[in-house]
Structure 1
Amino acid sequence: MSGETVILIAVNQQDIASTNQADALRAMDDWSELSPVEHHPAYALKHLRMLYLPNGLLFEDHLAKRWEEATGERVSEIIFPSRHVAASGQPSLTLHPIGVPHLPMGEQGPYGGHGGTAPPPSPRLASWWKMLLNLAKNEESVDGFDLSLEVTHHGPTVDVPTLFIEVGSTEETWGHLGAAQLLATIMRDGLLESSGSTWVEEKHAGEMVLVTLGGGHYAPRANQLAALDGVWLGHMLATYALPFEKTTEGEVGGNWKQSILAALKATRRSFPGGELVCSMDKKAFKGWQRQAIRDLLEAEGIPLLTTKQIKAKLGLD
């Protein structure tokens, strides 16, 4: 195995939504069983690797480094098939990047990750979102499922591009075989068949890469914009991930700036040569907060664009 560059699919053995997706993916092709990695079951197909982990995913820090130390193979990105939990109980299919950049620097989050940093977002987010929208339209078994991106949240802490692909939202639907099959199809097509599903600097340099700021957990702004042709998607920061404080002297404080800078830095890593732009949910912020964000982005040389401006830039107005 030594010396190759591989994509790792990390599976939670305790999560039926995770194992169903993984099993459906392996059933589509002739995967080879490998020697156990860290004493856990492992499989291979071409440049893909799959690892079944025993105790969840959110705290499996430095997984790419651990795989390389065990096998000699360099991991270029990680895909985490998983369940999604929501109090609403609404059946759902979701995609999202990970990280807790708004927490105090270095602090471990309650659901993994470490404050002040974020793993690079998978450059596949926007293309897989478009695939999800297209495939779900013609798949009767997932009628009634909500389709959504989620904002950047939770762990683990890793240093390669990453996404979670999830079935939600309760025990009633985590084991849904049609949902697992649909998401496995996206993984297979996105990782083996669809050459345009990821970023290639020589081909895509100068194209638009979107980071969204503000709004709720289910990323309505990103859902709309990432569905447009010509948009690549980076980190998405909800309002709760941009904590502002104002001192008695009127100075702007809080971890909002740390969070934005970490998201921009990580997104740049995933999209070398890309044109980063931000889009903000204005209603999510007070006037002084909006101005602080504008000032920071101006200092960083990042355009802050409205939906209308983004569409115009893409020639869609």
Structure 2
Amino acid sequence: MHHIAIISSSKDPAGINIRNNLIELFNFEKNSEEFDDNDVYQYDKIQNKAIKLYLTNQDLIFAEHLDKKIPADVFIFASKHRSKENIPSFAVHPIGNWSNADFGGEEKKLCPSSAVLLKNLFIELNNIAKDTKLNASDLRSHLHELTMEATHHGPFVDKPAVFVEIGSTEKEWNDKNNGKIIAETIMSGLNDENENYKIAVGIGGGHYCNNFNKLVLRTDIAFSHICPKHNLDKLDEELIKQSIQKTIEKIDFIVLDWKGLGTEKQRIVDLLKNLNLEFKRTDQILR
């Protein structure tokens, strides 16, 4: 049996929104457990998967080492997303820190990540948002950005983990329809299985992974961790090795956002060659 924990924070309106939709739409049932003095809900209708909803009273990014308190194989964090532009959005991303741990987690430490789960969630997010007419082809007033994000922030858990988020203001966090979309995304993503993906670590490009988003939706490539351009100066052999070791599937190759490597391009290429790692370029794959 695969045990999956979906975590929300009592301090986070988007997380509460997603949690309430999961309970309502999928008939999660309250069990006899409590966590942080909050009720725990359970769903057992997906074969070989036991899914539980937990509510913590901590901020999610600082809820460290939950894997020592919750017996789960996978952690899905249902959360709000903030951005400077306040663009309505839905996002998924792996967690960990390429450098300092200013926003939870541990310095230069990545959490385990499942590339298959991340890809399945992002594909389902796009399918469900499209079905509910929230994709970019709609009226501007209903525009939601659908994106993966690079690996960032905490908390640290030593089990595969992913954040699934609603952005970017109180209006979107509390919109019940947005909570419904993410609830359906999570449950559909957990239903999906695919062992035929090509597993990769992504290096370069912006925080919102424009080229890697395209690859996930258009090809069989799935990403576990992504190091964005603004963290490339911190990327060294040990972090590259860690990104591979922390991927629960076997890595097939590294993907470089070739035009998003800046002045670090040659150094990164040399690092990968020294490690005897195969790499591919986004500009050649997306031609």
> Of 247, 261, 268, which aligns to 2:241?
261
> Of 242, 262, 269, which aligns to 1:294?
269
Q: Whole-Å Cα distance in 2 between the matches of residues 238 and 15 of structure 1?
A: 26
Q: Whole-Å Cα distance in 2 between the matches of residues 260 and 85 of structure 1?
A: 28
- Cα 1:87/1:174, change in 2 over 3 Å: same
> Of 31, 48, 52, which aligns to 2:51?
48
Counterpart in 2 of 1:168?
167
**Which TM-score applies when normalising by structure 2?**
0.88
Matches within 5 A, 1:1-150: 5-34=2-31, 35-46=33-44, 47-68=50-71, 75-103=72-100, 109-123=101-115, 124-140=117-133, 143-150=142-149
Deviations along 1:146-182, one digit per CA (max 9) or x if unpaired, are 1111111000001111111101011121111111101
**Percent identity for Structure 1 against Structure 2:** 26
Q: Whole-Å Cα distance in 1 between the matches of residues 107 and 170 of structure 2?
A: 30
- What is the root-mean-square deviation in Å for CA atoms of aligned residues? 2.0
SS, match of residue 101 in structure 1: coil
- The structure number with the bigger radius of gyration is 1
Shift of 1:38: 4.2
Matches within 5 A, 1:195-234: 195-196=193-194, 203-204=195-196, 207-234=197-224
Matched-pair contact (CA < 8 Å) for 1:9–1:49:
yes
Q: Whole-Å Cα distance in 1 between the matches of residues 133 and 285 of structure 2?
A: 33
Shift of 1:230: 1.3
Segments of structure 2 that go 5 or more residues without pairing to the other structure are 45-49, 136-141
Matched-pair contact (CA < 8 Å) for 1:131–1:186:
yes
Counterpart in 2 of 1:314?
none
Segments of structure 1 that go 5 or more residues without pairing to the other structure are 69-74, 104-108, 197-202, 244-253, 312-316
Shift of 1:63: 0.8
Matched-pair contact (CA < 8 Å) for 1:241–1:259:
no
Matched-pair contact (CA < 8 Å) for 1:278–1:302:
no
For 2:254, the aligned partner's letter is V
Q: Whole-Å Cα distance in 2 between the matches of residues 5 and 284 of structure 1?
A: 38
- Cα 1:255/1:297, change in 2 over 3 Å: closer
Q: Whole-Å Cα distance in 2 between the matches of residues 141 and 297 of structure 1?
A: 39
Matched-pair contact (CA < 8 Å) for 1:13–1:19:
yes
Counterpart in 1 of 2:177?
178
**Which TM-score applies when normalising by structure 1?**
0.80
Q: Whole-Å Cα distance in 2 between the matches of residues 141 and 285 of structure 1?
A: 33
